[in-house]
Amino acid sequence: MTGLLETLPAAERRRLTDARPGVELASRPMLATLSDRREFDDAWIFERKLDGVRVLAVRDARGVRLLSRNGVRLNSTYPEIVDALAAQDRADFTVDGEIVAFADGRTDFALLQRRLGISDARRARATGVAVTYCLFDLLRLDGTDVTALPLRSRKSLLRRALVHRPPLRFITHRNHGGQELLDEACARGWEGLIAKRAAGRYQPRRSPDWLKLKCLRAQEFVIGGFTEPSGSRIGFGALLLGYYEGGQLRYAGKAGTGYDQRTLRDLRHRLDELALEHSPFATPVRERAPHWARPRLVAEIEFTEWTRDGLLRHPRFRGVRDDKDPAEVVRERAA
């Protein structure tokens, strides 16, 4: 047991076990549940909700590996993060966090898009888009599995185990929160808050111990097709979106805003490669002459509300999520 772990109370040390390989621990991240809850007691802590790409990082005798939430290796996409983790004095850890791009103090997913999908480290650096790895949890330390420890203890170990200098950032928390704290976060242009049960262990699943409190409604949707552009528009007019329910892809509406010229061109090229003769949706799509696509791409969409007939109101495209498995995209409902 390392010096840091020896500082834990005896009751917590008894929870520690020898860890499985870091990559195995990182294969199933803990996920938050959307919630409308706004009143909390002191059993909860609150972190800033980030708008980026979820990444778990492993460092061991084989080096550093960055892994997306669906297991894709991202070392060549974020080489500066690999360098920062490799430079740490501690050589055995598994951490959880989110890679973001900041613009004027706010996380900017549209800016981060310029780094997504790049598999060449030189190209990634040449984009000029600076990224930050925001660390908020610790799963393994010096060969020891710490996931059974309370969250407060894991965060304390994480803060002390690594040197958090750019491009690494330790995510601090607030000990009290609710509607007032969420209002403050929204006023600052944040995505919202994540409420976490302070004594909770790290669970490799979606858990009610982590709650998403959002300023705006937003979630991922599967792209099942698109409409033709009109006027001076290039690429496509709108994306046709859906989510899975009972194993079937249900139509959720179309998003025609939020794109720049580059996105319109690039997405049209990717969708043409996924062309499909028949609709992938199990529910009707009332669009004139739509183009269908195999449901392989996932988009993050912001919207105001759901209509009574189950469609999105005022949807706006925010970016493609290459880190999300289309089969896991469902309609998020507040707990």
Active site residues: 49
Measured distance CA(95)–CA(162) in Å, rounded: 10
The encoded tokens of residue 277 equal: 């003769």
